[in-house]
Amino acid sequence: MGDVVAIAGGGASGVILAIHLLRESSDTRDVVFEPNELGEGVAFATRCPAHLLNVPARGMSAFSDDPAHFTTWLAANVSDPFDEDSFAPRHLFGAYLREIAKRCKQAYAGRFEHVKALLTVAKSNDYRLRLRAADGRAYDADALVLAIGNAAPASWANAPASARFYANAWQPGALEPADLDETVVLLGTGLTAVDAVLELRHRGHRGLIHLVSRRGLLPHEHRLFDAPPQANPEARSLHELMNAMRAGDENWRTKVDGIRAFSNDIWRSLTLADRRRFLKRVLPYWNVHRHRMAPEVATTIAELLANGSINKIAGRTTAFEETPKALVVHIRERGGEFERSIAAQRVINCSGPEHDIKKYRNPLVQLLLAQGSLTPNAVGVGADVDDDGRLIDRDGVASERIFALGPVRFGTLIETTAIPEIRVQAARLAQLLLRSRDVVERKPA
Ligand SMILES: Cc1cc2nc3c(=O)[nH]c(=O)nc-3n(C[C@H](O)[C@H](O)[C@H](O)COP(=O)(O)OP(=O)(O)OC[C@H]3O[C@@H](n4cnc5c(N)ncnc54)[C@H](O)[C@@H]3O)c2cc1C
């Protein structure tokens, strides 16, 4: 009987890791804990056809050694004429991952188990890990991979206890207005707010939508270039990097895309102070340049802004006030002295995911933090991990049994949330787990 690898989270990261482990060994067993459908996660559970991938199809294969895997799947399964440059609807990528998960179940029967529950407890005994799911079932495993993805958004400051306030755009009902003319305030102007606009309009909503964030920065638009991305791996300080990125405005996309392959090396080479400065001051600007809208989405948003049916505000919410007919949002505009007030029937928190791992509401994360087997990384956001993704415990020791994959490595890495990075991490981690199992098998955890 081979090793048991437990995977907490069956979104894209968990499923891609699972198939690698199954394909590349003859006896490893995968137990994937995931309360929802496999292969979806927040990004790909959407059924809204207006939600498009923000990476062209050619970059979305689940396998880095088979880059055409997704485009081939699209051609075989979807009648629309998508090509490798298409920004396909995200639900299609969800269907693609569900099919990979189905293959795990069918082709590797007996070696793959989906436990439809959260994993809440993981404790090391002398030789293995003892795990318990939220439904009370217990499991033993030789290794555990945290593929728990992006956390829910951070709580909004002074968020009101109101039925009109939605703490998370992805919570049931948030984007399903009963009255199609109601005024909506979206707290955030990033990709989640853009998704919210698209879904509201797709559902027939006609009312005015205000998008509010401190800087009022909307993501830029993707454009496909003939010119190859420009690499700038020479920049080795934040200052140098910022200067290099600012020079020659018209080419910024090629620079942003060009440093992607080196971003994590550059990140690691920055001083701790520079990394902290980047997260505090530069990240909002980096995000809108790096995580861009598909061209079709950018066109729609530009049209809605131009015709006044959506409105972008740079400012800070100062208070919320419940009235019989509305939740009034008070906003101090950026650079202005005065407050403006918007009476909205619906207010939705569209800020991005919580990065501070200490604030994750995930019970497994909280338990591992309390045990000291998981610690926040030096910049204080995601998990501290070594280059192989092993969790580093409170004594600074890298775990032999517990690993992190994908967005939970954010902070240790700067590029770790999208499929092009996740598939490489998953392939490497599978190799490592398979190589090291004999070494770890009978050693105390
Ligand atoms: C709205 C949105 C759109 C995006 N679009 C793109 C895109 O177009 N292209 C791209 O490359 N990237 C995109 N991304 C980035 C995204 O992070 C990755 O593509 C990918 O979905 C991350 O997958 P994941 O499995 O790591 O995380 P998630 O998709 O967040 O999945 C994590 C899973 O873990 C489960 N889980 C959490 N805790 C536990 C636990 N204790 N026990 C068991 N299960 C647990 C959750 O239920 C969840 O299903 C998008 C992200 C978002 C939020």
Q: Which of 54, 97, 135, 361 to mutate to test the pocket of ligand 1 (most atoms within 8 A of CB)?
A: 54
Q: Say if CB 405 and CB 146 are below 8 A apart.
A: yes
Give dist(CA 78, CA 270) in Å, integer.
44
pLDDT exceeds 50 at position 123:
yes
Give the pLDDT of residue 445.
34
CA of 184 to the centre of ligand 1 (A): 26
pLDDT bracket for residue 258 (50, 70, 90): confident
- CA of residue 303 relative to chain centroid, distance: 27
0.75 exceeded by pTM: yes
Give dist(CA 373, CA 403) in Å, integer.
11
CA of 122 to the centre of ligand 1 (A): 21
Tens of pLDDT along 32-79?
Answer: 999 999 999 999 999 999 999 999 999 999 999 999 999 999 999 999
Give dist(CA 211, CA 350) in Å, integer.
9
For the purposes of burial, counting CB atoms within 10 Å of the CB of 269, is it exposed (0-12), middle (13-18) or buried (19 or more)?
middle
Category of 308 on φ-ψ map: left (φ > 0), alpha (ψ -120 to 50) or beta: left
Give dist(CA 422, CA 29) in Å, integer.
21
pLDDT bracket for residue 229 (50, 70, 90): low
The number of the ligand 1 atom at minimal distance from the alpha carbon of 15 is 25
Sign of dihedral through CA atoms 403, 31, 148, 263?
A: positive
Tens of pLDDT along 126-177?
Answer: 789 999 999 999 999 999 999 999 999 999 988 999 999 999 999 999 999 9
Mean pLDDT of the chain: 91
Q: Say if CB 331 and CB 312 are below 8 A apart.
A: no
Give the pLDDT of residue 236.
63
Q: Say if CB 443 and CB 398 are below 8 A apart.
A: no
Over residues 408-427, the mean pLDDT reads 95
pLDDT bracket for residue 442 (50, 70, 90): very low
As a whole number of Å, the end-to-end CA separation of the chain is 19
For residue 419 and ligand 1, the question of a CB distance below 6 A is answered with: yes
CA of 85 to the centre of ligand 1 (A): 23
CA of 13 to the centre of ligand 1 (A): 7
pLDDT bracket for residue 235 (50, 70, 90): low
Give the pLDDT of residue 230.
60
- CA of residue 389 relative to chain centroid, distance: 17
CA of 100 to the centre of ligand 1 (A): 16
Q: Which two tokens stand for residue 220?
A: 């830029």
Instruction: Specify the residue with its C-alpha closest to ligand 1, atom 20.
Output: 12
The number of the ligand 1 atom at minimal distance from the alpha carbon of 365 is 41
Q: What is the DSSP string of 100-153?
A: HHHHHHHHTTTSEEEE-S-EEEEEE-SSSEEEEETTS-EEEESEEEE---SPPB
Number of residues that make up the chain: 445
For the purposes of burial, counting CB atoms within 10 Å of the CB of 422, is it exposed (0-12), middle (13-18) or buried (19 or more)?
buried
Over residues 226-245, the mean pLDDT reads 65
Q: From start to end of 283-376, where are the E strands? A: 310-322, 327-333, 339-344, 346-349
- Among residues 430, 404, 403, the alpha carbon closest in space to that of 417 is found at 404
Q: Which two tokens stand for residue 179?
A: 């009255």
pLDDT bracket for residue 250 (50, 70, 90): low
Give dist(CA 141, CA 128) in Å, integer.
6
Q: Which residue has the tokens 């880095």?
A: 64
3-state class of 156 per DSSP?
coil
CA of 45 to the centre of ligand 1 (A): 9
For residue 147 and ligand 1, the question of a CB distance below 6 A is answered with: yes
Give dist(CA 417, CA 357) in Å, integer.
15
Residue 211 is inside which H or E element, if any? Answer: strand 209-213
Over residues 251-255, the mean pLDDT reads 77
